Structure 1
Amino acid sequence: MTSRVTLISPALTPALREARFDDGSSELDAAGVHRARSAAAGLSGADRSAASPSTRCRQTAEALGLSAPPQLPALAALDVGRWRGRTLAEVTAAEPDAVASWLADPARAPHGGESVRELCDRAGAWLDDTARAPGRVIAVVEPDVVRALLVRALGLPEPAFWRLDVRPLTAVDLSGRAGRWNLQVGTPLGEAP
């Protein structure tokens, strides 16, 4: 049985512009809402939809015309513990060794939250569960969740997590089944391929 999963990153927010660790409450700005609404016409239908529980992902899903279940903790952003709400520059200035350790070792969580490995495992389990049902799923998820899903789907080494860039309001398509996924590299939504 083949499944197709389209992962869409949220539209632009002030937190994304500032490289700020989101606390889950960052809202889309007017340009982000407009761009997501404009992109909605380019989306194909889906059998199911999903979204990270953050405000920006839920607002993006809504602007795209998707009706996602209210809470999917498996798709939550990486828990960055005490770094939540701060910019990467602020954290790096205050805790350079902790940031270096976190970036170098996927099993480390010096911020008191979860490690990249734990995020990859959590997101990968969601992908495996999703693959058990046929059809197409559109999921609006945090950029770090997109990266974690790609690491698990493609069997990449965990350090590759930091090498995958996910731009706002872009789509990535996975097709296949648990244990064997194919990647179709995405194009920005609302633009011709």
Structure 2
Amino acid sequence: MVTIAVLRHAPALTGGRLAGRGDVDADCGDAAAFRRMRQQVRQMLGADLRALSSPARRCVQTAGAMGFAPPPTDPGLWEQDYGAWEGLTYEQLPDLGPLPTHQLAAHRPSGGESFDDMAARVQPVLRSVAHDTLIFGHAGTARAALALVVGHRALSFAIAPLSLTVLRRSGMAGAETWAIEAVNLTALP
């Protein structure tokens, strides 16, 4: 059995703009929230865990604020590339209307990638993890992990900044079984 926990980075300093692939800083000023999250991580994963991170600055900064030495990074863990939507304010984003989750997951912004594309990039990284691991990632990373169990319905989950999503995997690649242990455990007040 392997436990994989995805810790979404601390609040991103985006100035109210979408920053999927934008390399922005994280607000790591809430020492009490990081202390609470460290306690949650220890309780759920114990001390014998490994860390892995998205190369995004906000993820690496979050790892540092959690007391981890800079973890190895994997480019497969980057957030979804929103293409032409990158850098837009949330008010400027197009309204796609109500879409079934399978259509939303397949929607690809111009020059970017769909949720399905991003999940196809993230999930092999998750499947390759051989030891209990804490991944410093993004909301998309956590939803891609959840999609291993619930498919496109993973898009329905809220993933707050500095929140923990925990899955357990048993079995070998190609015949593994995934279970969701926790979603969106937050440390922020």
TM-score range normalised by the length of the shorter chain: 0.7 to 0.9
Q: Which amino acid aligns with 1:151?
A: A
**Superposition CA RMSD, Å:** 2.8
Residue in 1 aligned with 2:114?
115
State the distance in 1 between where 2:156 and 2:66 align: 28
State the distance in 2 between where 1:190 and 1:40 align: 12
Residue in 1 aligned with 2:77?
75
CA apart distance, 1:49: 0.5
Tell me the matched-pair count: 179
For the structure 1 residues 75 and 68, does the alpha-carbon distance in structure 2 shift closer, same or farther, using more than 3 Å as the test?
farther
Residue in 2 aligned with 1:144?
140
Q: Which amino acid aligns with 2:140?
A: D
Where does the alignment leave 5 or more consecutive residues of structure 2 unmatched? none
> Which deviates more from structure 2 when the two are superposed, residues 179-188 or residues 29-38?
29-38
Is structure 2 residue 177 aligned with structure 1 residue 184? no
State the distance in 2 between where 1:101 and 1:126 align: 28
Residue in 1 aligned with 2:24?
26
Is structure 2 residue 162 aligned with structure 1 residue 166? no
Q: TM-score, normalised by structure 2?
A: 0.80
For the structure 1 residues 24 and 116, does the alpha-carbon distance in structure 2 shift closer, same or farther, using more than 3 Å as the test?
same
> Which deviates more from structure 2 when the two are superposed, residues 173-182 or residues 120-129?
173-182
* Aligned with residue 175 of structure 1, among 164, 168, 174: 168
Where does the alignment leave 5 or more consecutive residues of structure 1 unmatched? none
Q: TM-score, normalised by structure 1?
A: 0.78
CA apart distance, 1:117: 0.7
State the distance in 1 between where 2:28 and 2:179 align: 35
Q: Which amino acid aligns with 2:134?
A: I
CA apart distance, 1:33: 5.9
Higher helix share: 1
Superimposed CA distance per residue, residues 20-64 of structure 1 (whole angstroms, 9 cap, x where no aligned partner): 234432212253566325533443224311111111111001111
For the structure 1 residues 19 and 120, does the alpha-carbon distance in structure 2 shift closer, same or farther, using more than 3 Å as the test?
same
For the structure 1 residues 183 and 38, does the alpha-carbon distance in structure 2 shift closer, same or farther, using more than 3 Å as the test?
closer
State the distance in 1 between where 2:105 and 2:139 align: 17
For the structure 1 residues 27 and 14, does the alpha-carbon distance in structure 2 shift closer, same or farther, using more than 3 Å as the test?
same
